[in-house]
């Protein structure tokens, strides 16, 4: 029997998947071998575990709770700026964490806007550091994501159902019982699980707003064991704990989650006949206004406080910005080098395991991979010299699951639609890749590359683990300026980082769609 003809080979993709798996499992093995289970967990480790779980539970509960109200308001109202607001809900995904934190500090910090109002009225200023600060930042990042996930559920209720409900003269209560509650029962567990899983591996937020024995996440504890005590055994032990947690949470999230909230069409307006009463209108307007303010104010604060500093940036910031751009470029190229062959191989449909390798990035934690790489590199070379390549690589692996979600459906469509035509023209291999596959993937490649570049540009994770004082990416530089209480310079650098991240995303995404044929 002749082997099945395919226009594109699966082997590069299998190779890429093996590479990713080797990186993740290899570092995991290095960590596990180095861990010293006999020593057991110290009281501070238990505290870190408890704090990690508590903050993730609170963040998930509050984010999803608020998101439900906001999604409901968005689902049944149409107003000027609605589609802009919904598009804005996608922005925190590529927003550098450190930038958001500066914004949140400017609004909710001790000297922030809210505190000033409170002092004016004779109240105590807000205290943002600690558990509630960590939860606040997580809600800022995950409320939009949860809203998109839940809004998707609302949009998936067929328009005919609403028409039928309106025909039956269903009031708000009946509408809730008939349509909304069943949908929420399906969608909310998934949203909770996704946010919970994301918040478990929180590092940058905990690093800046947490800390101390009462507000340390496991990721932060790994960092501290590593940086302050250089206790690789303890870092490794904590890494195993972290991996167990994120692995379980990612598994649960993948099992119960319905969509990923990245799909298009969320700004579609459904014709609704309910919620016309004054209370309902006020309620929805309140939700939308409050949520809008909560999301927009910190960003506005970054821009406002950053503008004056932008012109007086210390030279170290420009050097760091250049480093960040370089890391982002390399990381994006690495990502495409891994993701494109993998997407092609998955599109052929016989390599389920490759998709699995891509998803591994969701369960793995950057700090754990970083610790593992350090343990592997340490005996043969100076890991600190490799800080930037390691950062670029880890960022690429972290962006891989998202890139695959963007690339695979299109790759499937291309091989299905044009595979046979290409084969009949003897266009297999390189001719197919260059003449058909890549040109037709351009928009998706641009989107994935934009995400990867922005994520890498804003990442404050492994680099904090590896960098010596001479080397810094822009997010790390912002963090260092904050630590040195140079808030003016930090704000300017944060604005620069925001511009670079968003600019990189816009440029690549736009470039991909520029003159692209449907």
Partner 1 sequence: MLRLENCEIANGVFKVSADLQIAAGSRVAVVGPSGAGKTTLIEAIAGFLPLTQGRILWQGQDLSAMDPGKRPVAMLFQDGNLFPHLTVAQNAGLGLRPNLRLTLPEQTKVQRALDRVGLADLAARKPAALSGGQQSRVALARVLLQRRDLLLLDEPFAALGPALKAEMLDLVAEIASETGATVLMVSHDPQDARRIADQVILVAEGQAHAPQPTAALLDNPPPALKAYLG
For residue 423, the minimal CB distance to partner 1 (Å) is: 4
Among 4, 11, 265, 470, binds partner 1 (CB under 8 A): 4
Of the candidate residues 325, 423, 499, 507, the single one contacting partner 1 (CB under 8 A):
423
Considering only residues 426 to 485 of the shown chain, the ones binding partner 1 according to CB under 8 A are 426-428, 430-432, 434-436, 439-440
SS3 37: helix
CB of 407 to partner 1, least distance (A): 17
Q: In the window 187-216, what residues touch partner 1 (CB under 8 A)?
A: none
Between 2 and 264, CB nearer to partner 1: 2
Closest to 257 in 3D by CA, of 149, 337, 385, 410: 149
Judged by CB, which is closer to partner 1: 172, or 511? 511
The answer to whether 9 contacts partner 1 (rule: CB under 8 A) is no
Find the shortest distance in angstroms from Cβ 439 to partner 1: 5
- 38 burial type by CB count under 10 A (0-12 exposed, 13-18 middle, 19+ buried): exposed
Question: Residues 201, 188: contact at Cβ < 8 Å?
Answer: no
Total residues interacting with partner 1, rule: CB under 8 A: 27
Does 344 interact with partner 1 (rule: CB under 8 A)? no
Which residues touch 10 (CB under 8 Å, ≥6 apart)? 344, 345, 348, 350, 351
Min separation Cβ 426 and partner 1, Å? 3
Report if residue 517 touches partner 1, rule: CB under 8 A. yes
Q: Binding residue for partner 1 (CB under 8 A) from 418, 488, 503, 507?
A: 418
Output b/e per residue, 159-169; b: 16+ Cβ within 10 A: eeebeebeeee
Q: Is 420 in the site for partner 1 (CB under 8 A)?
A: yes
Contact yes or no for 407/339 (Cβ under 8 A): yes
Which of 130/511 has CB closer to partner 1? Answer: 511
In this structure, how many other beta carbons lie within 10 angstroms of the beta carbon of residue 307? 12
Helix and strand numbers, DSSP H then E, in the chain: 22, 0
Shortest distance, position 447 Cβ to partner 1, whole Å: 17
426: left (phi over 0), alpha (psi -120 to 50) or beta: left
Residue 421 interacting with partner 1 (CB under 8 A): yes
Of 319, 479, 323, 469, whose CA–CA distance to 391 is shortest?
Answer: 323
Token pair of 101 as six digits: 């934190």
Q: Does 359 bind partner 1 (CB under 8 A)?
A: no
CB of 14 to partner 1, least distance (A): 21
Whole-angstrom distance, CA of residue 2 vs CA of residue 518: 35
Residue 111 DSSP class: T
Cα(41)–Cα(168) distance, rounded to whole angstroms?
61
> Residue 42 or residue 438: which is nearer to partner 1 going by CB?
438
1 forms part of the interface with partner 1 (CB under 8 A) = yes
> Which run of H or of E encompasses 505?
helix 487-513
> Which is nearer to partner 1, 161 or 435 (by Cβ)?
435
Closest approach of partner 1 to the CB of residue 335, in Å: 23
Residue of 39, 417, 510, 513 interacting with partner 1 (CB under 8 A): 417
227 lines the binding site for partner 1 (CB under 8 A): no
Write the CB contacts of 348 (distance below 8 Å, at least 6 apart in sequence).
Answer: 6, 8, 10, 415
**One residue of 157, 333, 425, 499 binding partner 1 per CB under 8 A:** 425
Task: Supply the minimum distance, in Å, between the C-beta of residue 340 and partner 1.
Answer: 17
Which residues are 211's β-sheet partners?
215
Q: Which residue ranges make up the site for partner 1 (CB under 8 A)?
A: 1-5, 417-418, 420-428, 430-432, 434-436, 439-440, 516-518
């Amino acid at each position: 029997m002749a082997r099945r003809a395919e226009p594109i080979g699966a082997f590069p993709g299998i190779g890429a998947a093996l590479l990713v798996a080797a990186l993740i499992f290899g570092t995991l093995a290095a960590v596990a071998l180095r861990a010293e289970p006999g020593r057991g967990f110290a009281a501070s480790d238990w505290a870190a575990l408890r704090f990690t779980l508590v903050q993730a539970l609170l963040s998930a509960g509050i984010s999803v709770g608020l998101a439900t109200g906001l999604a409901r308001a968005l689902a049944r109202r149409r107003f000027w700026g609605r589609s802009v607001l919904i598009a804005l809900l996608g922005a925190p995904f590529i927003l550098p964490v450190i930038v958001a934190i500066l914004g949140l500090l400017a609004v909710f910090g001790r000297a922030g806007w809210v505190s000033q109002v409170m002092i004016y009225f004779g109240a105590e200023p807000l205290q943002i550091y600690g558990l509630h600060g960590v939860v606040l930042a997580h809600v800022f990042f995950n409320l939009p994501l949860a809203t998109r996930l839940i809004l998707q559920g609302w949009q998936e209720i067929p328009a005919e159902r609403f028409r039928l409900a309106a025909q039956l003269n269903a009031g708000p209560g009946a509408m809730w019982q008939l349509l909304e509650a069943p949908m929420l029962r399906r969608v909310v567990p998934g949203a909770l699980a996704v946010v919970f899983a994301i918040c478990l591996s929180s590092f940058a937020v905990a690093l800046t707003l947490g800390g101390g024995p009462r507000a340390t996440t496991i990721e932060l504890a790994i960092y501290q064991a590593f940086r302050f005590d250089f206790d690789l055994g303890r870092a490794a032990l904590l890494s195993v704990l972290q991996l167990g947690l994120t692995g379980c949470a990612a598994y649960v999230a993948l099992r119960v989650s319905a969509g990923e909230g990245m799909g298009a069409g969320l700004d579609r307006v459904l014709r609704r006949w309910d919620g016309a009463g004054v209370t309902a209108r006020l309620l929805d307007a309140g939700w939308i206004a409050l949520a809008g303010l909560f999301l927009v104010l910190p960003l506005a604060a970054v821009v406002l406080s950053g503008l004056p500093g932008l012109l007086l940036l210390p030279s170290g910031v420009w050097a760091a910005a250049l480093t960040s751009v370089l890391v982002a470029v390399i990381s994006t190229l690495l990502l495409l080098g891994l993701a494109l062959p993998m997407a092609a191989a998955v599109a052929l449909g016989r390599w389920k395991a490759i998709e699995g390798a891509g998803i591994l990035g969701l369960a793995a934690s950057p700090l754990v991979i970083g610790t593992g790489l350090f343990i592997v590199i340490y005996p043969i070379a100076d890991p600190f010299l490799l800080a930037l390549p390691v950062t670029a690589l880890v960022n690429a692996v972290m962006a891989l699951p998202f890139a695959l979600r963007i690339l695979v459906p299109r790759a499937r469509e291309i091989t299905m639609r044009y595979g046979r035509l290409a084969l009949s023209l003897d266009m297999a291999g390189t001719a197919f890749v260059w003449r058909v596959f890549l040109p037709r993937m351009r928009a998706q490649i641009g989107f994935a590359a934009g995400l990867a570049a922005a994520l890498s540009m804003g990442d404050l994770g492994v680099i904090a683990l590896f960098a010596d004082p001479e080397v810094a990416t822009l997010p790390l530089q912002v963090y260092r300026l904050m630590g040195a209480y140079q808030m003016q310079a930090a704000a300017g650098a944060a604005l620069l980082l925001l511009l670079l991240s968003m600019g990189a995303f816009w440029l690549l995404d736009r470039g991909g769609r520029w003159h692209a044929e449907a």
